[in-house]
Amino acid sequence: MKFAVIVFPGSNCDRDMYHAAKDVLKEDADLVWYENSNLENYDGVLLPGGFSYGDYLRSGAVASTSNVMKQIKAHAEKGKPVLGVCNGFQILLEAGLLPGAMLRNKNLAFMCHQEPLAVANNQTQFTTEYAKGEIVRFPIAHGEGNYFCNEQTLADLKANDQIVFTYENNPNGSVADIAGIINEQGNVLGMMPHPERAVEELLGSDDGLKLFQSVVKNWRESYVVNR
């Protein structure tokens, strides 16, 4: 499986994402600069964390208008997997690929520590290797991770089982303890916690490994079926 890790000016978790895909998962991966990107030959798109464009205007707002987002939308429309972590999640929200928006953390602080999460939906292509309700530990590192959506959107997210990860001890004020959501088609996942920083015991947790393994396994299975 071949991954594109999209790099914006201000991305800072791009190397972590690349390391997870390339060195730990042993899959193909490229760091792809947002300006000279052609995503046609990639199977999966990884939007890393960081502070694209210095978080000017709103986190992810400026990156969401870049040319590469049109390609990511086209990639997503083909049903190919897209994972946005932290700033990547914020970009997906701003681009309209996922519903809702981010507010400042309830306590106004930038928080950087490990958080326990529950796998709320293990029937997505990103989570099949987990058990439903399994508690995993991923680092969080954000100042604007307070997920917000209106009541109708929240009802839709619940009805369609689009809430994939929830916080056990909600650190930022997110509605319904939401840590990660998926689109209706089930191929675009956005989450604030960092699975790519939890792929080796040395990092304090390897609970994120199963997320990437799920993607690869499900891609392989559908690849065999579709060829």
User: Residues 27, 55, 94, 177: which binds other proteins (CB under 8 A)?
Assistant: 94
CA–CA gap between residue 155 and residue 130 (Å, rounded): 25
Residues in the chain, overall count: 227
Check residue 217 for interaction with other proteins (CB under 8 A): no
**Strand 146-148 to strand 101-103: parallel, antiparallel, or no bridges (unpaired)?**
antiparallel
Q: Per CB under 8 A, which region of 54-62, 71-79, 196-204, 206-214 contacts other proteins?
A: 54-62
Question: Does residue 218 belong to the site contacting other proteins (CB under 8 A)?
Answer: no
Closer by beta carbon to other proteins, 79 or else 96: 96
Question: Residue 205, interface with other proteins (CB under 8 A)?
Answer: no
Task: Give min distance, CB of 185 to other proteins, in A.
Answer: 20
**What number of other Cβ atoms are within 10 A of residue 55's Cβ?**
18
**7: helix, coil or strand?**
strand
Least separation in angstroms between CB 104 and other proteins: 5
CB atoms within 10 A of CB 35: 11
For residue 224, the number of C-alpha atoms closer than 13 Å in the C-beta half-sphere is 5
Structure tokens at 129: 């290797």
> Which stretch, 24-32, 98-106, 132-140, 154-162, contacts other proteins (CB under 8 A)?
98-106
105 binds other proteins (CB under 8 A): yes
Residue whose entry in the numeric block shows the structure tokens 């509605």? 175
Contacting other proteins (CB under 8 A), which of 22, 173, 213, 217?
173
Sign of CA dihedral 188, 194, 200, 206: negative
Active site residue 75: no
Query: Which is nearer to other proteins, 106 or 220 (by Cβ)?
Result: 106
- Residues belonging to the active site: 86, 194, 196
